[in-house]
Amino acid sequence: MASYKHILVGLDLSKESSQVLQKAADISGACGADLSLAHVIEPLTFAYGGDIPMDLSEVQEQLQNQAKDQLRKSADRLGIPAERQHVVLGQPATEIHRLAEEQEVDLIVIGSHGRHGLALLLGSTANGVLHGASCDVLAVRVHVNEQ
Protein backbone atom coordinates (compact mmCIF):
# COMPACT_ATOMS: atom_id res chain seq x y z
CA MET A 1 0.00 0.00 0.00
CA ALA A 2 1.25 3.48 -0.78
CA SER A 3 2.26 5.53 2.23
CA TYR A 4 -0.16 8.43 2.24
CA LYS A 5 0.47 11.55 4.30
CA HIS A 6 -2.80 13.48 3.91
CA ILE A 7 -6.19 12.02 3.04
CA LEU A 8 -9.21 14.10 2.04
CA VAL A 9 -12.58 12.42 2.57
CA GLY A 10 -15.45 13.76 0.48
CA LEU A 11 -18.69 13.11 2.35
CA ASP A 12 -22.29 13.61 1.25
CA LEU A 13 -23.42 13.34 4.90
CA SER A 14 -25.89 10.57 4.14
CA LYS A 15 -26.27 7.58 6.49
CA GLU A 16 -23.85 5.68 4.26
CA SER A 17 -21.11 8.29 4.79
CA SER A 18 -19.98 6.43 7.88
CA GLN A 19 -18.82 3.55 5.64
CA VAL A 20 -16.63 5.92 3.62
CA LEU A 21 -15.29 7.62 6.72
CA GLN A 22 -14.43 4.29 8.38
CA LYS A 23 -12.48 3.10 5.33
CA ALA A 24 -10.56 6.40 5.24
CA ALA A 25 -9.87 6.20 8.98
CA ASP A 26 -8.53 2.65 8.55
CA ILE A 27 -6.16 3.77 5.79
CA SER A 28 -5.15 6.85 7.77
CA GLY A 29 -4.34 4.71 10.80
CA ALA A 30 -2.30 2.24 8.74
CA CYS A 31 -0.29 5.03 7.09
CA GLY A 32 -0.17 7.56 9.91
CA ALA A 33 -1.79 10.06 7.55
CA ASP A 34 -3.66 13.23 8.47
CA LEU A 35 -7.37 13.09 7.71
CA SER A 36 -9.41 16.03 6.39
CA LEU A 37 -13.15 16.03 5.76
CA ALA A 38 -15.05 17.90 3.07
CA HIS A 39 -18.70 18.37 2.23
CA VAL A 40 -19.67 20.40 -0.82
CA ILE A 41 -23.05 22.10 -1.05
CA GLU A 42 -24.25 23.08 -4.47
CA PRO A 43 -25.68 26.60 -4.39
CA LEU A 44 -29.46 26.56 -4.57
CA THR A 45 -29.23 28.88 -7.57
CA PHE A 46 -27.50 26.02 -9.45
CA ALA A 47 -30.44 23.74 -8.79
CA TYR A 48 -33.12 26.23 -9.69
CA GLY A 49 -31.25 28.29 -12.29
CA GLY A 50 -32.44 31.56 -10.81
CA ASP A 51 -36.04 30.76 -11.80
CA ILE A 52 -37.36 31.29 -8.29
CA PRO A 53 -38.09 34.98 -7.65
CA MET A 54 -36.99 34.95 -4.03
CA ASP A 55 -33.89 35.33 -1.91
CA LEU A 56 -32.53 31.89 -1.07
CA SER A 57 -29.56 33.13 0.98
CA GLU A 58 -31.20 32.37 4.35
CA VAL A 59 -32.06 28.82 3.28
CA GLN A 60 -28.52 28.39 1.89
CA GLU A 61 -27.05 29.57 5.20
CA GLN A 62 -29.21 27.11 7.15
CA LEU A 63 -28.06 24.27 4.90
CA GLN A 64 -24.43 25.26 5.46
CA ASN A 65 -24.87 25.45 9.23
CA GLN A 66 -26.53 22.02 9.34
CA ALA A 67 -23.74 20.55 7.20
CA LYS A 68 -21.04 22.09 9.42
CA ASP A 69 -22.71 20.62 12.49
CA GLN A 70 -22.96 17.13 10.94
CA LEU A 71 -19.39 17.25 9.67
CA ARG A 72 -18.13 18.42 13.08
CA LYS A 73 -19.84 15.46 14.78
CA SER A 74 -18.13 13.04 12.40
CA ALA A 75 -14.80 14.79 12.85
CA ASP A 76 -15.08 14.82 16.64
CA ARG A 77 -15.49 11.02 16.71
CA LEU A 78 -12.09 10.73 14.98
CA GLY A 79 -10.35 13.66 16.64
CA ILE A 80 -10.09 15.68 13.43
CA PRO A 81 -9.41 19.36 14.23
CA ALA A 82 -11.62 22.20 12.94
CA GLU A 83 -8.99 23.41 10.47
CA ARG A 84 -9.32 20.11 8.60
CA GLN A 85 -13.13 20.27 8.36
CA HIS A 86 -14.36 21.93 5.16
CA VAL A 87 -17.91 22.82 4.16
CA VAL A 88 -17.79 24.69 0.86
CA LEU A 89 -20.20 25.95 -1.75
CA GLY A 90 -19.78 24.95 -5.36
CA GLN A 91 -19.69 22.05 -7.77
CA PRO A 92 -18.60 18.96 -5.80
CA ALA A 93 -15.87 17.55 -8.07
CA THR A 94 -14.37 20.99 -8.73
CA GLU A 95 -14.29 21.93 -5.05
CA ILE A 96 -12.85 18.59 -3.95
CA HIS A 97 -10.07 18.96 -6.55
CA ARG A 98 -9.40 22.51 -5.34
CA LEU A 99 -9.27 21.47 -1.68
CA ALA A 100 -7.02 18.51 -2.49
CA GLU A 101 -4.51 20.78 -4.19
CA GLU A 102 -4.69 23.52 -1.54
CA GLN A 103 -4.26 21.03 1.30
CA GLU A 104 -1.54 19.01 -0.50
CA VAL A 105 -3.60 15.84 -0.31
CA ASP A 106 -2.20 12.62 -1.76
CA LEU A 107 -5.39 10.52 -1.52
CA ILE A 108 -9.05 11.46 -1.96
CA VAL A 109 -11.61 9.00 -0.55
CA ILE A 110 -15.20 9.23 -1.75
CA GLY A 111 -18.29 7.06 -1.71
CA SER A 112 -19.71 5.35 -4.76
CA HIS A 113 -23.21 3.94 -5.00
CA GLY A 114 -22.33 1.76 -8.00
CA ARG A 115 -25.05 3.11 -10.27
CA HIS A 116 -25.68 1.57 -13.66
CA GLY A 117 -27.29 2.60 -16.92
CA LEU A 118 -28.52 6.15 -17.34
CA ALA A 119 -27.23 7.33 -13.95
CA LEU A 120 -23.76 6.13 -14.93
CA LEU A 121 -23.93 7.88 -18.31
CA LEU A 122 -24.97 11.15 -16.72
CA GLY A 123 -21.99 10.97 -14.42
CA SER A 124 -21.71 11.11 -10.68
CA THR A 125 -19.71 13.02 -8.14
CA ALA A 126 -17.39 10.04 -7.74
CA ASN A 127 -16.77 9.90 -11.48
CA GLY A 128 -16.20 13.65 -11.59
CA VAL A 129 -13.68 13.48 -8.77
CA LEU A 130 -11.85 10.54 -10.33
CA HIS A 131 -11.39 12.31 -13.65
CA GLY A 132 -9.32 15.38 -13.02
CA ALA A 133 -7.79 14.60 -9.66
CA SER A 134 -4.06 15.19 -9.38
CA CYS A 135 -3.66 12.46 -6.74
CA ASP A 136 -4.94 8.96 -6.04
CA VAL A 137 -8.69 8.51 -5.61
CA LEU A 138 -10.36 5.68 -3.74
CA ALA A 139 -14.05 5.14 -4.46
CA VAL A 140 -15.57 3.18 -1.58
CA ARG A 141 -18.58 1.10 -2.57
CA VAL A 142 -21.30 2.02 -0.10
CA HIS A 143 -24.12 -0.32 0.75
CA VAL A 144 -27.52 1.11 1.47
CA ASN A 145 -28.95 -0.39 4.63
CA GLU A 146 -32.44 -1.30 3.51
CA GLN A 147 -34.94 -2.13 6.21
Domain boundaries of the chain, sorted by first residue:
6-141
Q: Is the pLDDT of residue 116 over 50?
A: yes
CATH of range 6-141; options 3.40.630.30, 3.30.365.10, 2.120.10.30, 3.40.50.620: 3.40.50.620
- Mean pLDDT of the region 60-75: 94
pTM of the prediction? 0.85
Q: Name which of 16-20, 50-54, 87-91 the model is least confident about.
A: 50-54
Band of the pLDDT at 43, cuts 50, 70, 90? confident
Strand partners of residue 138: 109
Q: In terms of C-beta density within 10 A (0-12 exposed, 13-18 middle, 19 or more buried), how is residue 72 classed? A: middle
Instruction: Give pLDDT, residue 117.
Output: 53
Band of the pLDDT at 46, cuts 50, 70, 90? low
**34 within 8 A of 7, measured Cβ to Cβ:** yes
At 77-99, the pLDDT tens digits run 999 999 999 999 999 999 999 99
Band of the pLDDT at 122, cuts 50, 70, 90? very low
Instruction: Give pLDDT, residue 121.
Output: 45
Q: Going along the chain, which residue ranges are E strands?
A: 6-10, 34-41, 85-89, 107-112, 136-141
**87 within 8 A of 68, measured Cβ to Cβ:** yes
